[in-house]
Structure 1
């Protein structure tokens, strides 16, 4: 297990690193081009691929796609899969795209085109709900912009490797379709942040789940433990030896297993678990560390953050 620590943030993972001096031939990155109708879910599709570990570039001019792939090939394997979201507002869009695709084909780059489609009625409702104009409507109506874009995209839609009609899909259903196509046989990963904090400094605004360690005795009132934090063995042993502490850890870990399975089904890839005590120095820190270790043992990539540990 590897650990990296900096400014109160520790990355915990089960990955292994290569031995010094090892070198492997870096393959040309795999490429996915995401396009389609404005309002049909291009951003959601791109975000899904980003959560699956793809390097995503939004609104890249088609002429620059080969350059992006070349840069990825120079990354020593750090960028193995690239997703590019392209927009048809430029008049030379198709000329540039044809040239780029021909260039990629000559270099034997594996690429797929994903086209997001939707009905006119669904697109109109979406633009009206966010009170924004269609990018191609100009001085006309939303339907005029949709018609113009559909005409411009007709050829690209015919060339697409995957067409997804999002007319009746919600965000979670679209993510599920993208997962089915690009996640492979492996179950999409869930990444967790376990954050200790002090209630007197306020709740973390980005917390998905919050648990309160103030039901345990406070080491602050034990003179020999007060100067230390929950990272010390003395404080950690004190906290975990209290009645209910280990039971809480066991049962909350079981609960997180249930929640994590539901998050994966709903397409949620990130979860922040906030563990609080009065000052965020002793009980919450010790329990956050133990909880993170349990998550790692379950195969969850975990980051530990001690938000208030350094405060007086």
Structure 2
């Protein structure tokens, strides 16, 4: 079988300083793009060669190219144009109004990269002159004037995530309270309101992954009602996480030892969350096997 030597997809991320290039780059990295920051335009050709040699190892690369490259930046429009015939190359241009850019630079108390001895606005005007050509040929232009960082990240996900790719991953984790509360969780459910199978001799040596324990736990008053109601309550939470571009969350489900009730509930809860659009669900049993 011959190796795939076709070039991968390259996205040039450029635009006005202060318009959100860092936020966009972080969002792309969360989507499994390989991100290169502050790349001189002249390095785009070697980067494309690298994607051909790497094959499937580097299918998607995002290169942040901007005026920090100084005089080298002037060649970006010509280089990008010459590379379009060789690769799946797109240009994302991030923009914002002058007033918004001035406020953003003032809020972080940093000078504009082209400000020199002038004002922030002077630097913005100089930059607009330099980016005119690449803006005119951009594939996607995003005006971030009215977007906060979360809204911008969500916009990037909408534009550049693969079709069908989950926008949020939730891990449903069972655990035992006697081993301590997990530190990296977003929400916690306590299943100790249900009878403990540990006190049933024939169930003590089994776990929540075994059918007899599952049947016992789910047959208890309130068990199914809680699981159904909790799953329903989590639907808008997971949808909201996607709107806020929160990529991962952990829902912890606890019982005394993390062996019976929490395991059953975690499995059942995960199955009910599988139909939330844009969400991938994983199950983890933190303390199973500790006894």
Do they fold alike, i.e. is TM over 0.5? yes
Q: Is the 8 A contact 2:40 2:73 kept in 1?
A: no
Number of the residue aligned with 1:304: 283
Deviation readout 1:61-109 (Å, 9 max, x if unpaired): 43333333344344554543332222321234325635642552342x1
Alignment counterpart, residue 284 of structure 1, candidates 234, 242, 262: 262
Residues 1:36 and 2:11 aligned together: no
State the Cα deviation string for residues 253-293 of structure 1 (Å, max 9, x = none).
33333433444444444332222233434322332223223
Quote the Cα distance in structure 2 between the aligned partners of 1:310 and 1:145.
Answer: 62
Q: How large is the RMSD of aligned CA atoms in angstroms?
A: 3.6
Instruction: Pick closer, same or farther for the CA change 1:95–1:191 going to 2, 3 Å.
Output: same
Q: Return the alpha-carbon distance in structure 2 between the equivalents of residues 131 and 202 of structure 1.
A: 43
1:16-35 to structure 2, matched below 5 A, reads: 27-35=6-14
Q: 1:197 aligned to 2:170? A: no
Checking the alignment, whether the CA contact within 8 Å between 1:196 and 1:285 is kept in structure 2 is yes
Contact 1:211/1:274 (CA < 8 Å) preserved in 2? Answer: yes
2:7, 2:55 within 8 Å by CA — same for their partners in 1? no
Partner in structure 2 of residue 238 of structure 1: 216
The answer to which structure has the higher helix fraction is 2
Distance 2:66 2:258 in 1: 47
Secondary structure of 1:59's counterpart equals coil
241-250 or 254-263: bigger deviation: 254-263
Q: Which residue of 1 aligns with 2:89?
A: 111
The answer (yes or no) to whether the contact 1:63–1:99 under 8 Å persists in 2 is no
Q: Secondary structure at the match of 2:69?
A: coil
Question: Residues 281, 25 of structure 1: CA spacing in aligned structure 2 closer, same or farther, 3 A cutoff?
Answer: same
Q: Normalized against structure 2, the TM-score is what?
A: 0.77
Q: Which consecutive residues of structure 1, in runs of 5 or more, have no partner in the other structure?
A: 1-20
User: SS at the partner of 2:283?
Assistant: strand
- Does the 8 Å CA contact 1:27/1:80 hold for their aligned counterparts? no
CA contact (8 A) 2:207 2:260 kept: yes
Question: Which residue is equivalent to 1:72?
Answer: 51
Q: Secondary structure at the match of 1:89?
A: helix
Displacement of 1:33: 0.9
TM-score with structure 1 setting the length? 0.73
Instruction: Give secondary structure in 1 for the equivalent of 2:62.
Output: strand
Matches within 5 A, 1:1-312: 27-52=6-31, 54-77=33-56, 79-94=58-73, 97=76, 100-101=79-80, 104-107=83-86, 109-137=87-115, 142-143=120-121, 145-183=123-161, 189-296=167-274, 300-309=279-288, 311=290
Unaligned runs of 5+ in 2: none
Q: Following TM superposition, by how much is the alpha carbon of 1:165 offset from its aligned partner in structure 2, in angstroms?
A: 1.9
Shift in Å, 1:185: 6.9
